[in-house]
Chains A and B, each alone.
Chain A
Amino acid sequence: MNRREFIGFGIMALAVLPASLSALDYRKEKPAAWKAKTVDSALEALYGKQTYVEKGIKLKVPKVASNGGAIPVDIKTDIEAKSVAVFQDSNPESAVAVFTVPDGQPVNYSIKIKMKKSGAITIAVEGKDGKFYKISKSLEVALGGCEG
């Protein structure tokens, strides 16, 4: 077929796919990850057995969180990512959130989380290159925060 026909065919194929290609509800896709108690078991439930490179992610958390119910977590990375996952090791389950990164969008996220007591926050990034990255930071929690 000539080029025009080929492109037409390609566009037709795309039209059949759902509009939001990147929409992925990780709670529905990976239910076991949200029940896992440790960071390592949650990571495995989410991404399988992987080796993680410890670089490329900027994680900003306070050294001491005065309010354990609202700890600011800032995540930035230039890695071309498919997903970014947030864990901590102070609460009954370790998974906090998983971001699906839409194609080509920057990763510059801020959220506020709860931690029952002092511990560590871990961020994992699933790269489009098939590699995995992570970073962990410890923090102290002055007033434990799962109490509403």
Chain B
Amino acid sequence: MKIKAKEKDGIIKAKVMVKHDMLTYDVAKKKGKEANFITHLEAKVGDKVVYEISSSQFLSKNPIFKFTFKGAKKGDKLTVSWEDLKGTKKSGSKKIK
């Protein structure tokens, strides 16, 4: 996953890009595959959750998540973790610029 986080005037602007097919039930059926899509994603700085989304098959393929948050500074590490329908879990992190 690609994480970008930039702090300005106390607000951090973040952009997370994840590679995931986000395969809907309909399309999966047609292709003879199993549906699979990200169901939950959260971003943390240390112990603090700063963004959290429960999602569905209706987010676009290779989803992009943009959000802002406060309470962190340049150099802090933003950690993003997600889980999909099949139970796969992935994590990544990037220092806030």
Contact = CB atoms under 8 A, between A and B. Distances in A.
Contact of A148 (B11, B42, B49, B61): B61
Nearest to A71: B60
A109 B66 contact: yes
Interface residues of B, number: 37
Contacts of B49: 20-23, 100, 102
Contact of A106 (B27, B39, B54, B68): B68
A112 B60 contact: yes
A110 B70 contact: no
B18 to A, nearest CB: 12
Interface string A14-40: 000001111111110000001000000
Contacts of A34: 56
Contacts of A26: 54
Contacts of B58: 88, 91, 93, 96-97, 113-115, 146
A92 interface: yes
Contact of A146 (B26, B47, B68): B26
B53 A146 contact: no
A111 interface: yes
Given A24-B52, A95-B56, A104 B71 contact: yes
A32 B51 CA distance: 23
A14 B62 CA distance: 38
Interface in A84-140: 88, 91-93, 95-100, 102, 104-106, 108-115
Interface string A53-90: 00000000000000001110000000000000000100
Contacts of A98: 53-54
B92 to A, nearest CB: 17
A147 interface: yes
Interface of A: 19-27, 34, 69-71, 88, 91-93, 95-100, 102, 104-106, 108-115, 145-148
8 contacts: A19-B47, A24-B52, A93-B56, A97-B55, A102-B69, A108-B67, A109-B67, A114-B22
